[in-house]
Amino acid sequence: MLKNYSSAIDFYLLGFYGSKERHNILFAVFLFLYSVTLMGNIVIIVTVCVDKRLQSPMYFFLGHLSVLEILITSVAVPLMLWGLLLPGMQAISLTACAAQLYLYLSLGTSELVLLGVMAVDRYVAVCNPLRYNIIMNSHTCIWVVIMSWVFGFLFQIWPVYATFQLTFCKSNVLDHFYCDRGQLLRLSCDDSLFTELILFLMAVFIIVGSLIPTIVSYTYIISTILKIPTASGRRKAFSTCASHFTVVVIGYGTCLFLYVKPKQTQAAEYNRVASVMVLVVTPFLNPFIFTLRNDKFIEAFRDVMKRCCHLLKG
């Protein structure tokens, strides 16, 4: 006989399958990736804030993107790491589960909007350089960043509310390492088909809606770059947006893979692998993509490190 778990105090997260040895290996790998993600993004934030050469819209947006990366990974990864150390299932309260899902979706939405804004910024820089400082002034940059944060947190209120209005009567065990919406829908004994359709359409709206300005911007960027007569000029122009383009491909690819599917209750192993890509692998790669081939940032970082060494010696 099924029991109504919708008012239960706890859900239980199954986490990753396998032996204790496998869990220890996963813990070490994920802890390393998470630590590097934190350090890499903190380095970006500090360098952008301290060095005056990086006081431009591109680096202003990059600093906020790094803040979002830290928050998104920190919403789920520490809990995942703790679960790998514990034997058996991991308990999480209904309130904590709802808060985790809301923060994860809200921050992710804000990040997608910000990536779209960064694409437009690169379009203005490449296609309209003479008016760049006028169009992308400090007031505009601050306004669009605030709007991206606010939009993300407002947009995800209804989806999370609708998810937790369902009755969870099949079980209170989630076959995942965090409160995944697809797994929550699997536990519902209500007819959630309409809710899943609305959630699917909202996911399409936010991902495709933020992807459109990116596609349009890069269409114009590529068209403009191809008109540059010299190969060195074309390389220099494309180098200003190559890192953002790479992050867009990886970021949107994993999001489309995970969220834009009509049936939210996808296989647990599929969701687990896709979630690791979104929460662990992509945030780990982004700081390297944005900084390794950026001579201006590397030079600024070296100067910041020299200043820190001088302060410590003094």
> In this predicted model, what pLDDT tens digit does every residue of 45-59 receive, in sequence order?
999 998 888 889 999
Two structure tokens written together for 76: 């789920």
91 membership: H or E segment, kind and range: strand 90-93
Q: In terms of Cα–Cα distance, which of 259, 161, 242, 243 is closest to 208?
A: 259
More confident residue, 259 or 140: 140
The CATH number fitting domain 11-312, selected from 1.20.1070.10, 3.50.50.60, 3.40.50.300, 3.40.430.10: 1.20.1070.10
Whole-number Å distance between alpha carbons of 207 and 248? 11
Residue 43, pLDDT > 50, answer yes
> In this predicted model, what pLDDT tens digit does every residue of 249-300 receive, in sequence order?
888 877 776 665 545 445 667 778 888 988 999 899 888 888 877 888 888 8
For all residues of the chain together, what is the average pLDDT?
86
Output the pLDDT for position 265. Answer: 46
CB distance 16 to 26 below 8 Å:
yes
Query: Which CA distances in Å does 96 have to 101, 253, 279, 285?
Result: 9, 29, 18, 28
- Tell me what percent of the residues of the chain surpass a pLDDT of 70: 93
Output the pLDDT for position 269. Answer: 73
Output the pLDDT for position 1. Answer: 34
Output the pLDDT for position 2. Answer: 38
- Give the residue-averaged pLDDT of 3-10: 55
Whole-number Å distance between alpha carbons of 222 and 33? 33
Output the pLDDT for position 191. Answer: 79
pLDDT bin (cut points 50, 70, 90) of residue 227 is confident
Q: At what angle do helices 20-50 and 295-313 cross, to 10 degrees?
A: 90
Whole-number Å distance between alpha carbons of 295 and 99? 40
Two structure tokens written together for 129: 């350089």
> In this predicted model, what pLDDT tens digit does every residue of 152-194 receive, in sequence order?
999 999 999 999 988 888 788 888 899 988 888 888 888 778 8
The pTM of this model reads 0.89
Two structure tokens written together for 314: 């003094």
Output the pLDDT for position 259. Answer: 61
The 10 Å Cβ neighbour count of residue 234 is 15
Each domain of the chain, given as residue ranges in start order, spans: 11-312
Whole-number Å distance between alpha carbons of 210 and 201? 14
Output the pLDDT for position 196. Answer: 85
What residues pair up with 92 in beta bridges, in sequence order? 11
Q: Strand runs (DSSP E) across 137-231, as ranges?
A: 173-174
Counting runs of H as helices and runs of E as strands, what totals does the chain give?
13, 3
